[in-house]
Structure 1
Amino acid sequence: MSGVPDVTATETWAALESDPDAALVDVRTDAEWNFVGLPELSSLGKQPVLIPWQVYPSMQVNGAFAEHLRKAGLTPLSKIYFLCRSGARSLAAGQAAQAAGFPHAFNVAGGFEGPVDAEGHRGAVSGWKAEGLPWRQR
């Protein structure tokens, strides 16, 4: 057990809407942000915090991840919802955040696109897009 609770994208949206101090941290790579899209939070008066867990193209873990969380204004009191493509990197990022003193870390289990469907495509099974939440191309 990781200690980082899994939540759905819809639960994440509700938390971001109801808690002014809740933040969505998108831990995908800049290539994913640019070519796949981003959660659109402007109707909530927020923006996703973009901090890669792994740095493209080497895919090495971002050694300054916790420092970037702090620089983004997040504190140990912040409720932080971590999002990646499918929920794996975001879980690792949430665990690292907890280890760095951010106890209120949550994993958006379906991620932005979710797992592949029967045809091998992402975005239809679960996750931010599949749950019909706002998103945009960069």
Structure 2
Amino acid sequence: MKHLSPQEAWTWLQAETARRAALGQDPPLFVDVRMEIESLYVGRPPGVENIPWYEYPDLTPDPARFAQAVAREAGDKARPVLLICRSGKRTLDAGKALEAAGFSEVAHVLHGFEGELNEHFKRSTVNGWRHDGLPWEQM
């Protein structure tokens, strides 16, 4: 699994999308593994697909179910997959599940969408997608 900073992930996503378009291939699949409510209300990168690693009320990951859902969306396990979550921790386990299921090119966004906590227990102040000023939207 590749570990990309938010800026590296954004740059890679744009370049790989252009490269694959020139070859007539689908762009990388960008997956937000947070619960749907997190993705909608906290914000998310544009164009991301929400496929939760776990969901309320169980809050229990099901790696096989997750990998199957990503496989359905990807259409091909050779299609590159980029994962993002809140802080970059859920994506580590989700990425391992995808690799175990046969996905050949998996990357995740270090520090996720909101980044690490600061000394006052607040996010988006130290690092992360939103902190780095990358494109995002909010419902």
- Name the counterpart of 1:61: 61
1:33 aligns with 2:30: no
State the TM-score, normalizing by the size of structure 2: 0.86
Q: Secondary structure at the match of 1:81?
A: strand
Q: Provide the secondary structure at the position in 2 that maps to 1:64.
A: helix
Q: Give percent identity, aligned residues only.
A: 35
Q: 1:55 to 1:71 in 2, by over 3 A?
A: same
Match of 1:43 in 2: none
Of Structure 1 and Structure 2, the greater helix share is in 2
Q: How far is the alpha carbon of 1:74 from its aligned partner?
A: 4.2
Structure 1, unpaired ranges of 5+: 41-46
Candidates 28, 35, 39, aligned match of 1:22:
28
- Give the letter aligned to residue 15 of structure 1: W
Contact 1:31 1:56 in 2 (8 A): no
CA RMSD of aligned residues (A): 1.3
Counterpart Cα distance in 2 of 1:123 and 1:75: 34
| Change in 2 beyond 3 A, CA 1:6/1:124 | same
**Please, which runs of 5 or more residues in structure 2 have no aligned partner?**
18-26
**TM-score scaled by length of structure 1:** 0.87
Give 1 or 2: higher strand fraction.
Answer: 1
How many angstroms apart in 2 are the aligned matches of 1:81 and 1:73? 11
Paired residues in the alignment total 129
Q: Partners of 2:82 and 2:66 in 1: how far apart?
A: 15
